[in-house]
Amino acid sequence: MRFRDWATRVILIFLMLATLILALFIGGARKLQNNTITSNPEPTLWQQYPQALLQSENTIEKQQTSSPNLPDLSRSFVERKPKNQVISKYITTAAFAEYKPNLVAAQVHPSNYGERFTHDVNGVPVNNQPLIVLHETTNSASSAVNFFQNNNVDENVQASYHALITLDGTVIYLVPPDKRAFGAGNSVFKAANGVEETVQTNPNLPASVNNFAYHVSLETPPDGWGKRNIQGHSGYTEVQYNSLAWLIAQSQVPDERITTHRDVDIANGKVDPLSFDFENFFNKLHSFRELRSFNNAKR
């Protein structure tokens, strides 16, 4: 075989191998992209939840001065709506701007929360609207946070909230709102139109509302710590109601989609939050936000 023929064959083989490697690389990248899309929902949906506000007091005041009725945390939700459309949106009030709770953050071990999914375990797309579920700790706030910071390998033990409000009104941010906190076990939300909403994301666990829920817990008063099968306790402090209303006022979740662990639970007999004063809470919430309609073409 002449050298020219041999060299030509070597070059052809090299080009074929290079083409094959390139094709495999492109295919792997597309597969990774598709997997990412499957496990991460549209970000604008979860921006309807309260976002962590841990800036200095001066930074928060500066934002409220420049745009007192439209917090930055939800502006992207408005701007991505179709133009020339009249939409309704919750706007925070002057009372909201005046209330300044103590804000802190605590790390949660990754075993106690997960990703939000756009498809259930059967590959069926899910598009539930956001839901807020209210809880109580049943013990001290510090004991709850300590538990969430443990590496819980047992899937039946894993638990967390997105936020926790202590007896003195401190808001503790735990799991980011774009992640799925493990706040409820087997659970279903019964919407006003009669539709029952739940999503199964783990083939080894029953369906729950976790995939589309934002979980907020109130620290239980000391007279209820560690007690089971009780019908009530002394109740929550006024600053807890204030901070809870302040937190939820930053969301775009309507009143009818604010529920309790008691109402969504269907398996474990959960009854929290005990002694919760809904009238007091909603009065405060309505003082911190109001629903307005406007044409977003002007924005």
Each residue's pLDDT tens digit, 176-212? 999 999 999 999 999 988 999 999 999 999 999 999 9
In the chain, what percentage of residues exceed pLDDT 70?
A: 73
Q: Which pLDDT score is estimated for 59? A: 30
pTM of the model: 0.77
Confidence of residue 299 (pLDDT cuts 50, 70, 90): very low
Q: What is the tens place of the pLDDT at every residue in 98-112?
A: 999 999 999 999 999
Token duo for residue 76:
């992207």
Q: Which residue has the higher pLDDT, 156 or 215?
A: 215
Query: What per-residue confidence (pLDDT) applies to 146?
Result: 97
Distance of alpha carbon 162 from alpha carbon 61, whole angstroms: 24
Q: Are 128 and 46 in contact (CB under 8 A)?
A: no
Measured CA to CA, the distance from residue 172 to residue 161 in angstroms comes to: 10
d(CA 270, CA 30): 43
- The answer to whether the CB of 29 falls within 8 A of the CB of 21 is no
The angle at the Cα of 136, spanning 208 to 179, to the nearest 5 degrees, equals: 45
The pLDDT confidence band at residue 16, using thresholds 50, 70 and 90, is low
Q: What is the mean pLDDT of the chain?
A: 81
pLDDT tens for each residue of 38-83: 344 444 556 788 888 764 333 333 333 232 332 333 333 334 455 6
